[in-house]
């Protein structure tokens, strides 16, 4: 990873990992695990930038994806905000493709908007 070639490294996080965006409480373990992941990615971005200033490390929020895991929680999700896995993956690919080294360490939603930590 040492060098100056562009490099993208991303992890799937979730908006519930945002401490400042927590308005509902609950989901302690899931929130904590995603907040920890975001911290890990932020720290990695700082250290990786020392070895490769062209690298970009990001946490990505895929939105609410229609899976067995999310089904019990979909009742309050507007239909237009419930995504298929393929749609979410396509969105995340576009977001990832638009990131550069200036955005390293960030947390981004499926639509490219930044999410506060």
Ranges of each domain in the chain? 7-109
CB count, 10 Å around CB of 40?
Answer: 14
With bands split at pLDDT 50, 70 and 90, how would you rate the model's confidence at 76? confident
pLDDT tens-digit series, residues 39-58 = 999 999 999 999 999 999 99
pLDDT at 66 over 70: yes
**Total-model pTM:** 0.92
Return the pLDDT at 2: 76
pLDDT tens-digit series, residues 17-43 = 999 988 888 989 999 999 999 999 999
C-alpha to C-alpha distances, 81 to 9, 73, 77, 88, 110, nearest whole angstrom: 26, 13, 6, 10, 11
Return the pLDDT at 23: 86
CB count, 10 Å around CB of 72?
Answer: 7
CB proximity list for 99: less than 8 A, separation 6 or greater? 8, 56, 58, 106, 108
Q: Judge residue 15's burial from the number of C-beta atoms within 10 Å of its C-beta, 0-12 exposed, 13-18 middle, 19 or more buried.
A: middle
With bands split at pLDDT 50, 70 and 90, how would you rate the model's confidence at 1? low
Domain 7-109's class?
alpha beta
Q: What whole-number distance in Å separates Cα of residue 91 and Cα of residue 46?
A: 26
pLDDT at 96 over 80: yes
C-alpha to C-alpha distances, 101 to 57, 71, 96, 109, nearest whole angstrom: 8, 36, 11, 17
Q: For the chain, give the mean pLDDT.
A: 94
């Amino acid at each position: 990873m040492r060098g100056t070639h562009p490099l993208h490294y991303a992890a799937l996080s979730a908006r519930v990992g945002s401490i400042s965006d927590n308005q509902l409480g609950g989901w302690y373990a899931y929130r904590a695990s995603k907040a920890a992941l975001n911290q890990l990615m932020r720290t990695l971005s700082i250290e990786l930038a020392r070895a490769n200033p062209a690298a970009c490390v990001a946490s990505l929020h895929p939105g609410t994806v229609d899976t067995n895991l999310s089904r019990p929680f979909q009742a309050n999700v507007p239909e237009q905000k419930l995504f298929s896995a393929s749609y979410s993956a396509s969105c995340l690919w576009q977001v990832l493709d638009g990131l550069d080294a200036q955005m390293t360490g960030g947390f981004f939603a499926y639509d490219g908007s930044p999410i506060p930590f």
